[in-house]
C-alpha cells in the first residue's frame, strides 16, 4: 500500500511539469520581425487535420490555410499555408501543449518561418496575434490570450521600422 501511495504521489508531482513543457523565452517585437520569413495579416479559410505515418508511429498534423489580406513582409501571395503538429481526425487525436488553435474566420497577424518545424509561428505563439473589430468598426490587435497590443496600423509601422533596423545590422 505504501508503494502504491508513493507511486501515486510521484505521478501527481510529474503532471504539472508535463503541462508546462512548452515554454519559450519572451521575444521583443524586433525579435519577431528579424526571425520571421513572412509577416502578414490574413483570415483563416481552412483548418484541416491529417494523419502522417512515421517510422515510429502515426501522428496528426493540422494544415491551416490563410487568405492574405495585407502582406507585410516576405510574401506577395494571396494564400499562405502552414502545418502544425497536433490536431484531431475521426481516427486519432494528438495535442501539443501550448500549440495555437485556429478556426475558419479567425483574423490574425502572423509572424512565421518557412522551415519545417512542429510550429511555424515565431516564438511558438508570440508571433500570432488576433485582429478583432470593435463596436465602432475599428480593428484591434490582441495577443492570442486576448490582451490589447495596439491598432493594426501601429503593427504595420513597427514591422516596417523593425525591417529597417534589421537591415542596418
What is the reported pLDDT for 29? 85
Residue 167: phi, psi to the nearest 5?
-70, -30
Q: Which residues pair with 59 in a beta bridge?
A: 52
Burial class (CB in 10 A: 0-12, 13-18, 19+), 138: exposed
pTM of the shown model: 0.75
Show the low-confidence residues of the chain (pLDDT under 70).
1-24, 150-169
End-to-end CA distance of the chain: 64
What is the reported pLDDT for 25? 78
| Residue 31 host element (H or E) | helix 29-35
For residue range 77-91, what is the model confidence (pLDDT) as tens digits? 999 999 999 999 988
Task: Please state, in angstroms and rounded to a whole number, the distance separating the CA atoms of residues 19 and 15.
Answer: 6
For residue range 95-111, what is the model confidence (pLDDT) as tens digits? 999 899 999 999 999 99
| Top-level class of domain 26-168 | mainly beta
Task: Please state, in angstroms and rounded to a whole number, the distance separating the CA atoms of residues 129 and 107.
Answer: 9
Task: Please state, in angstroms and rounded to a whole number, the distance separating the CA atoms of residues 64 and 163.
Answer: 26
Give residue limits of the domains in the chain: 26-168
Amino acid at each position: 500500500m505504501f508503494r502504491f501511495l508513493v507511486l501515486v504521489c510521484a505521478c501527481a508531482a510529474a503532471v504539472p511539469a508535463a503541462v508546462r513543457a512548452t515554454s519559450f523565452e519572451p521575444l521583443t517585437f524586433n525579435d519577431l520581425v528579424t526571425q520571421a520569413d513572412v509577416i502578414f495579416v490574413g483570415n483563416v479559410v481552412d483548418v484541416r487535420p491529417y494523419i502522417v505515418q512515421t517510422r515510429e508511429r502515426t501522428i496528426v498534423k493540422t494544415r491551416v490555410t490563410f487568405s492574405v489580406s495585407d502582406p507585410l513582409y516576405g510574401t506577395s501571395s494571396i494564400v499562405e499555408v502552414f502545418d502544425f503538429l497536433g490536431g484531431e481526425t475521426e481516427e486519432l487525436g494528438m495535442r501539443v501543449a501550448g500549440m495555437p488553435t485556429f478556426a475558419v474566420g479567425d483574423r490574425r497577424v502572423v509572424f512565421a518561418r518557412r522551415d519545417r518545424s512542429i510550429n511555424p509561428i515565431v516564438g511558438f505563439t508570440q508571433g500570432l496575434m488576433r485582429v478583432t473589430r470593435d463596436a465602432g468598426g475599428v480593428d484591434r490587435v490582441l495577443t492570442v490570450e486576448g490582451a490589447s497590443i495596439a491598432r493594426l496600423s501601429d503593427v504595420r509601422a513597427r514591422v516596417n521600422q523593425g525591417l529597417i533596423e534589421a537591415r542596418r545590422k
